[in-house]
Amino acid sequence: MINTTEKTECYHCGQACSDDTFRVDDKMFCCYGCKVVYGIINDSNLCEYYDIESHPGLNAKNYRKGEFDYLDEEKLRKKLLEFDSDDFARTRLNVPAIHCSSCIWLLENLQKADKGVYKSEVNFNRKQVTIDFNPAKTSLSALAELLDALGYPPRVTIDNPESKKKQASNLVTKLAIAGFAFGNVMLFSFPEYLGLDPKDQSLGRLFSWLNLALAIPVIVYSASGYFTSALKSFRQKQLNIDVPIALGLLALFLRSSYDIVTHTGPGYLDSLTGLVFFLLIGRWFQGRTYETLAFERDFKSFFPLAVQRVKDDRVISTVIFDLKKGDRIRVRNFEIVPADSILIDKVAFIDYSFVTGESRPVKAAAGDLIYAGGKLIGQPVNLIVEKETSQSHLTSLWNSDVFRKKYESRYRKIIDRSARIFTWIVLGIAAITAVYWYFYSPKEMWLVLTSVLMVACPCALALAAPFTYGSMMRVFGRHGFYLKNSDVVERLSVIDLVVFDKTGTVTHGQAPQVLFEGELSKEELSAVKLLTGFSTHPLSSIVNRSITEDPSGTVTHFEEKPGKGIEATIDHREYRIGSAEFIGFRGYIKSTGTKVFVSINGEVKGHFLVKAAVRNYVKAMLHRLGERCNALLSGDGNTDLEAMKGLFPSSAQLKFDQRPIDKMEYIRDQQAKEQKVLMVGDGLNDAGALKQADVGIAVTDDTGLFTPGCDAILQGEQLRHLDRFLSLAKSSSRILKIAFTISFTYNAVALSFAVTGNLTPLVAAILMPVSSISVVGFSTIAVNLVSRKLC
Amino acid sequence: MLIVILLISISLSIALLFLGLFLWSMKSGQYEDTYTPSVRILFDEKKEKSRDPDKNQDRKKV
């Protein structure tokens, strides 16, 4: 028997159930969505899902039918299917909701829910599911809908990361070959290290030839990246860091081959292979850190990939790029208008917050032009496309120069500049040394020359930056702060000013807290819901969303007075919703926050208290930032001015009613004063400002949410650590400088030994990886020590 | 001398074999997902029949 008190948790998602409205047999559900998901799982005999882990589901939203119809559009289908034939097809879908072993079980048993599925396989780390299915029996859209219905909505993106993946696996192959050769060459060089008997000379020669055979794939394949890069830099007449490396590698290889072929020595192939191996490890490490979050996606992902086009009274899915002027399209609630279009229906409410930053919906009437990027709120409408998407208002906004700004990394500049100078200095020193030794002792000239070229190669310099910034990036990633690349760490370290956005950044994004104080019957609430639904004021929509009753009532009179409120008559009762003054309320209410009063037939019934909740611990963080905390730029009205005054330190300017362009210009002004600006926003309506800033951070409560043009994504709850992230970035810059110093010292000391002929190439070659390892080890350990503060 | 050459060729060919195996395993995608197989192996193949839901609840609590 089951104790009734234990049943208050939702059987599907584990959230608390408010009452027993949603129940099946003895199982309780918190909402209709969860109950529906359970129904599907139960009908498909998949209840084992609930055995593996308790409450495995995620709180389910209501899904709508037909949402994924566009996937069957031929062009998209081709892109999404890895293999396609009459009775077999394979697709790989991203399913961000995968989070536990129950998910794996459920998603690998899809064939029980859809007979058209042959097999499905989950890749947990990539959050992907690969589905083999029979296209004759089921379709891509049906599969996507099934996943959605089960609570695992697939995220469809057209760009394929295949090429990147291939590059990474290519690098591992190179690394494997270099490591293999390194180990074996070391083994064959061992007799050489210990000294060979003169009578074993032939054996030594055999070993040398074997070494050469092993080193050829390393130089030709594993190290090929350095040679192509060096060659490229030669062609562009700009010497980069790869030139000395390539030169050193080439000198080592040629010198060793010469030695081996002429039987004058064993060569230095152990050093060569080791060098390549360690260099590639550095590259691989760097690549791994990049992989943590692949986000700079095509901005097109913002749009629904296809729209519903109305043709001959039938609705068909069309890819947005195929839209032509004059096409009729249908846009549903919360869908983004894909192209500038003219409204056919009587009325529509469009939320342009994505384009303009203004969160209140705009009312459009028949014949009005609706701009691309606007989000429809409410009833579905029909539109006629006026401009093709490629030239529309929105695309031009995104294509503005701000989005293409390139930042040249300072450390890379230092490296490249020093490499340019270094290369010439090294070549000069090498030439002078060679000339000197040619006259002094021509026998040793080659040896000394090789030592100089090898020891001067600033490999540790090249490794220090990716390792330091790379490990810092990983530390950040572990704490919910994802950077686009390691350059961002460097840019973060020089930030002078921090500018914040309000809604969704300092305050929680969704669902401002709405409390009703007073008394309203269910009927009256329904009427308020109906009336607020008519209004476009943001407060109306907030109040509207907070009421759970269905709208009902017959409206005989309706008037909205701007800045005051709504006046309406429903079922012969006069409703007034709005400000205290408008309602005629003269009392005093102590609580802070915006109030919306309701009166019926002149009698004040109470008020809605709207509070945008500030994130936890943000105040302390803002004060720790102190002087650096420069401004709050909010797109909303100044209703929260008092609350924000209390929150921000006095140094910060508080600006309200800012359009995105204002935000961008504010940042540009600060930058004109030689200040490095960090912008923290929600990434939707302040995309331009994020891109304009030296570093743009998008705060999000859902990492699946895509934001273009930002440099980093910060999880909402981690905003309180922002100041720590900044100081860590500073520390890592300091660590890098120390690592640079160590590396330079190594090179200088070793070079002085090499020039005087006191350093044999063998010692030089051993010194090289040792210096690299010590620099890398230093930076990695230092970063981890410094970042312990964070937790 | 001969024995050294023999040993070297054996050691090299074994090392090459392992390198080849590693490259093959990488190409066949064995390193793409290191988590799912460990979970997958624990799933029981069950006969499809309607099970007593109460039993599930009890098992879950264990």
Which tens digits make up the pLDDT trace of A673-730? 888 889 988 765 576 788 788 888 878 765 434 444 567 778 777 888 888 899 999 9
CA A233 to chain centre: 31
Interatomic CA distance for residues A182 and A226, integer angstroms: 18
Q: Is pLDDT larger for residue A179 or for residue A203? A: A179
Place of tokens 């001398």: B1
Res A606 pLDDT > 80: yes
pLDDT band at A112 (very low <50, low <70, confident <90, very high): confident
Taking contacts as CB-CB distances below 8 angstroms, the residues of chain B near A104 are 36, 39-40
- Residue A370: per-residue pLDDT: 82
- Largest Cα–Cα distance in chain A? 117
Taking contacts as CB-CB distances below 8 angstroms, the residues of chain A near B11 are 187
Asked whether the beta carbons of A382 and A310 are under 8 A apart, the reply is: yes
Angle between helical axes of A242-261 and A410-440 (0-180°, round to 10):
30
- Residue B14: per-residue pLDDT: 93
Measured in degrees and rounded to the nearest 5, phi and psi for residue B32 equal -70, -40
pLDDT band at A397 (very low <50, low <70, confident <90, very high): very low
User: CB A125 to CB B4 under 8 A?
Assistant: no
Partners of A351 in the β-ladder: A375
Place of tokens 């070993």: A207
The tokens for A496 are: 């002078």
Asked whether the beta carbons of A293 and A482 are under 8 A apart, the reply is: yes
- Residue A171: per-residue pLDDT: 84
- Residue in chain A nearest B38 by alpha carbon: A101
Span A394-422, mean pLDDT? 54
Interatomic CA distance for residues A668 and A538, integer angstroms: 29
Partners of A701 in the β-ladder: none
- Residue A315: per-residue pLDDT: 66
- DSSP notation for A25-70: TTEEESSHHHHHHHHHHHHTT-TTHHHHSSS-PPPPPPP-TTTTGG
Instruction: Return the minimum-mean-pLDDT range out of A338-342, A432-436, A559-563, A720-724.
Output: A559-563
A649-656's contacts with Cβ under 8 Å and 24+ in sequence apart are A649/A622, A649/A623, A649/A625, A651/A626, A651/A627, A652/A622, A655/A631
Which tens digits make up the pLDDT trace of A476-532? 877 878 776 677 888 888 888 899 887 667 776 555 667 787 878 888 888 887 777
Interatomic CA distance for residues A383 and A374, integer angstroms: 13
User: CB B50 to CB A45 under 8 A?
Assistant: yes
- A570, A589, A571: which is closest to A579 by C-alpha? A589
User: CB A123 to CB B32 under 8 A?
Assistant: yes
- Residue A167: per-residue pLDDT: 63
Which tens digits make up the pLDDT trace of A636-677? 656 677 778 888 888 888 888 777 778 888 888 988 888 888
Distance from CA of B36 to the nearest CA of A (A): 6
Span A545-556, mean pLDDT? 74
- A324, A359, A325, A328: which is closest to A345 by C-alpha? A328
- Distances in Å between the alpha carbon of A213 and those of A209, A260, A726, B32? 6, 11, 50, 32
| Average of per-residue pLDDT values in chain A | 75
User: CB B36 to CB A123 under 8 A?
Assistant: yes
Residue A129: DSSP 8-state: E
Percent composition of chain A: helix, strand, coil (DSSP 3-state, to 5): 50, 20, 30
Interatomic CA distance for residues A666 and A279, integer angstroms: 44
- Residue B55: per-residue pLDDT: 42
Measured in degrees and rounded to the nearest 5, phi and psi for residue A769 equal -60, -35
Which tens digits make up the pLDDT trace of A361-374? 778 888 888 877 77
Q: Is pLDDT larger for residue A475 or for residue A323? A: A475
Contacts of A584 (CB under 8 A, 6+ apart): A599, A602, A604
- Residue B21: per-residue pLDDT: 93
- DSSP notation for A241-263: THHHHHHHHHHHHHHHHHHHHTT
Interatomic CA distance for residues A223 and A242, integer angstroms: 11
- DSSP notation for A201-246: HHHHHHHHHHHHHHHHHIIIIITHHHHHHHHHHHHTT---THHHHH
Measured in degrees and rounded to the nearest 5, phi and psi for residue A708 equal -85, 165
Coil vs helix vs strand at A510: coil
Coil vs helix vs strand at A517: strand
ipTM of the complex in this document:
0.72
Interatomic CA distance for residues A544 and A172, integer angstroms: 56
Residue A539: DSSP 8-state: H
Query: Chain B window 1-60: which residues touch A at a Cβ cutoff of 8 Å?
Result: 1, 4-5, 8, 11-12, 15-16, 19, 22-23, 26-27, 32-36, 39-40, 42-43, 46, 48, 50-51, 53-54, 56-57, 59-60
- A419, A512, A511, A517: which is closest to A461 by C-alpha? A419
Interatomic CA distance for residues A712 and A681, integer angstroms: 11
Interatomic CA distance for residues A733 and A739, integer angstroms: 10
Instruction: Return the minimum-mean-pLDDT range out of A307-311, A409-413, A763-767.
Output: A409-413
Of A51, A124, A188, nearest to B33 by CB-CB distance is A124
pTM score: 0.52
Residues from A in contact with B at Cβ < 8 Å: 2, 25-27, 45, 47-48, 50-52, 54, 101, 104-105, 108, 112, 121-126, 169, 172-173, 176-177, 180, 183-184, 187-188, 202-203, 206, 210
Q: Is pLDDT larger for residue A354 or for residue A396? A: A354
Total number of residues shown for chain A? 791
Asked whether the beta carbons of A768 and A728 are under 8 A apart, the reply is: no
Asked whether the beta carbons of A635 and A503 are under 8 A apart, the reply is: yes
Interatomic CA distance for residues A775 and A764, integer angstroms: 16
- Distances in Å between the alpha carbon of A180 and those of A175, A222, A275? 8, 11, 13
Which tens digits make up the pLDDT trace of B10-20? 988 999 999 99
- Residue B50: per-residue pLDDT: 43
Interatomic CA distance for residues A751 and A768, integer angstroms: 11
Contacts of A443 (CB under 8 A, 6+ apart): none
Taking contacts as CB-CB distances below 8 angstroms, the residues of chain B near A51 are 56, 59-60
Percent of chain A past pLDDT 70, that is, above it, reads: 72
Res A127 pLDDT > 60: yes
How big is chain A by its Cα radius of gyration, in Å?
A: 33
Q: Is pLDDT larger for residue A747 or for residue A257? A: A257
pLDDT band at A221 (very low <50, low <70, confident <90, very high): very high
DSSP run (H or E) holding A117? strand A117-123
Q: What is the dihedral of CA A53, A54, A60, A63, to 10 degrees?
A: 60
Instruction: Return the minimum-mean-pLDDT range out of A146-160, A178-192, A263-277.
Output: A146-160
- Residue A216: per-residue pLDDT: 94
- Residue B28: per-residue pLDDT: 84
Interatomic CA distance for residues A425 and A419, integer angstroms: 9
Query: What does the buried/exposed string (b/e) look like for A452-483 if buried means 16 or more CB atoms within 10 Å of the residue's CB?
Result: bbbbbbbbbbbbbbbbbbbbbbbbbeebbbbb
Asked whether the beta carbons of A73 and A318 are under 8 A apart, the reply is: yes
pLDDT band at A93 (very low <50, low <70, confident <90, very high): confident
Asked whether the beta carbons of A597 and A579 are under 8 A apart, the reply is: yes
Among A133-137, A283-287, A302-306, the range of highest mean pLDDT:
A133-137
Instruction: Return the minimum-mean-pLDDT range out of A471-480, B10-19, B39-48.
Output: B39-48
Span A144-172, mean pLDDT? 69
- Residue A560: per-residue pLDDT: 66
Res A161 pLDDT > 60: no
Residue A502: DSSP 8-state: I
Distance from CA of B10 to the nearest CA of A (A): 13
- Distances in Å between the alpha carbon of A709 and those of A267, A298, A690? 51, 10, 7
Q: Is pLDDT larger for residue A727 or for residue A229? A: A727
DSSP run (H or E) holding A577? strand A573-578
pLDDT band at B49 (very low <50, low <70, confident <90, very high): very low
- Residue in chain B nearest A25 by alpha carbon: B53
- A452, A417, A447, A418: which is closest to A432 by C-alpha? A452
**Counting Cβ atoms within 10 Å, is residue A305 exposed (0-12), middle (13-18) or buried (19+)?**
buried
Res A291 pLDDT > 60: no
- Residue in chain A nearest B24 by alpha carbon: A173
- Residue A179: per-residue pLDDT: 92
Pairing verdict, β A594-600 and A573-578: antiparallel
Contacts of A422 (CB under 8 A, 6+ apart): A244, A456, A458
Q: Please report which residue ranges of A626-720 form alpha helices under DSSP H.
A: 641-647, 660-672, 687-692
- DSSP notation for chain B: -HHHHHHHHHHHHHHHHHHHHHHHHHHTTTTT-SSHHHHHTTPPP----PPPHHHHHHHHH-
Q: Is pLDDT larger for residue A311 or for residue A209? A: A209
